[in-house]
Amino acid sequence: MKITALSKRRHRLTAVFFGDVCETVDTETLLLSGLREGSEVSEEEWQSLKETAEQNRAYEKALYLLEYRAHTKSELFTKLRTAFPAEVCEHALCRIERLGLCDDEAFARDFADELFNRKGFGKRRVAFELQKKGVDRDIIDEVLCEYEDSDPVEAIAAVINKKYSPLPEDDKKIQRVYAALARMGYGYRDIKAAVERVKNGE
């Protein structure tokens, strides 16, 4: 196979022509290969270069996503999978993990801290949100264990004082408060105890 022409495209891609046949690879991979117009390349060599090019593109896409915010491995895989085969995604994520750029345990700790302390969520809701991000159950359990000593009643009371104070007297309205707190991941007994604490001015 002889490369008869090269033509740069958008998004750091280059069109490679083999006579009437045109294929596209990322420019950086092509430059590193040393191939140029007039070069001869075997079918096997070309397929290997295309595979490397696709892996590099997936890796660059993962880096781009991580520039905006931290991701779990599962999140990155799902987003990459929309554009690349599964094995290419896995290869890119292995590179990302080796560089320490994707750490599910660190992500889970940071995210849990935000949910507990900034949003006031309870353990059930925090576990649910971490599961949605694709965090393994073992990591979730480990992270939640770090909050074993926290008092859920105190946390609920703080939410009530911030969002629902003064508490309504109407039964229907108070039930809405109960429902909202339950959606935040708190149990009925803890909610009831917190409501009583707030009512008593404790």
User: In this structure, is the dihedral angle defined by the CA atoms of residues 17, 35, 8 and 43, taken in order, positive or negative?
Assistant: positive
- Res 149: pLDDT: 63
Q: Does the global pTM surpass 0.85?
A: no
- Res 202: pLDDT: 59
Reading the chain (202 residues) residue by residue, the pLDDT tens digits are 887 877 877 777 878 787 877 877 778 877 777 777 778 778 888 888 888 888 888 998 999 999 888 999 999 999 999 999 999 999 999 999 888 888 999 999 999 999 988 888 988 999 999 999 999 999 999 999 888 767 888 888 888 888 888 888 777 888 888 888 888 888 888 888 888 888 777 5
User: What is the rounded distance in angstroms from the CA atom of residue 166 to the CA atom of residue 196?
Assistant: 13
User: What is the rounded distance in angstroms from the CA atom of residue 193 to the CA atom of residue 199?
Assistant: 10
The class that CATH gives domain 5-98 is mainly alpha
* CA triple 79-81-85, angle to 5 deg: 155
Exposure string for 104-142, b = 16+ CB within 10 A, e = fewer: beebbeebbeebbeeebbbbebbbebbeebbbbeebbee
User: What is the rounded distance in angstroms from the CA atom of residue 76 to the CA atom of residue 81?
Assistant: 8
